[in-house]
């Protein structure tokens, strides 16, 4: 992806995730709360004023929407938080998937564990690897209907 405006939105989301550290929020809880929020859904839209308001404004909107869910706790490193935020937003632009769907494919703990190996890859390659990892975690499909052996 070479679109400078979309890359700027990825950067804003990365900085939003970093800002959660300064706010004292537990990283895993913050990420889950944001990715499932109305704020994230608005950020997924083709255009929403929220996208260009900056990370401080987005944070204030998120606190207004979900304040009780944002609590202190274990925090990830600044680099991990930026990468996770940036990568989730890039994923949205790459696939058009919603923040909720992306989170279901690449849960926070997978992103945290994958950071060491994936953060040095091209973002689109890291997303491809994360999608493959999600596929491998799915339970096998079962066949429904009559047996083909009859």
Domain ranges of the chain: 4-127
Smallest Cα–Cα separation from 19: which of 82, 61, 74, 64?
A: 82
What does the pLDDT read at residue 50? 62
Which of 34-38, 45-49, 62-66 is least confident?
45-49
What does the pLDDT read at residue 142? 46
Which 3 state secondary structure label does DSSP give 15?
Answer: helix
Model confidence at 145: pLDDT above 90: no
Q: How confident is the model at residue 138 (pLDDT cuts 50, 70, 90)?
A: low
Interval 84-107 mean pLDDT: 95
Distance of CA 84 to CAs 47, 109, 144, Å?
22, 11, 38
* Residues in a beta bridge with 25: 72
What does the pLDDT read at residue 41? 93
Statement: the pTM of the whole predicted model exceeds 0.75: yes
Question: Percentage of the chain surpassing pLDDT 90?
Answer: 61
Model confidence at 117: pLDDT above 60: yes
Q: Are 32 and 103 contacting, i.e. CB atoms less than 8 angstroms apart?
A: yes
Q: How confident is the model at residue 140 (pLDDT cuts 50, 70, 90)?
A: very low
**Nearest 5 degrees, angle CA 81-CA 83-CA 88?**
100
Model confidence at 148: pLDDT above 50: no
Model confidence at 134: pLDDT above 50: yes
């Amino acid at each position: 992806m070479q679109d400078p405006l979309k890359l700027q939105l990825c950067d804003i989301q990365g900085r939003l995730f970093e800002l959660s550290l300064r706010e004292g929020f537990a990283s895993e809880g913050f990420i889950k709360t944001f990715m499932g929020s109305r704020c994230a859904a608005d950020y997924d839209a083709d255009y929403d004023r929220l996208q260009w308001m900056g990370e401080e404004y987005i944070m204030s909107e998120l606190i207004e929407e979900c304040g009780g869910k944002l609590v202190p706790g274990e925090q990830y490193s600044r680099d991990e938080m930026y990468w996770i935020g940036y990568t989730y937003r890039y994923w949205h632009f790459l696939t058009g998937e919603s923040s909720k769907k992306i989170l279901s494919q690449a849960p926070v703990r997978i992103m945290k564990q994958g950071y060491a190996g994936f953060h040095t890859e091209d973002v689109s390659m890291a997303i491809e690897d994360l999608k493959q990892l999600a596929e491998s975690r799915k339970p096998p499909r079962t066949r429904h209907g009559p047996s083909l052996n009859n």
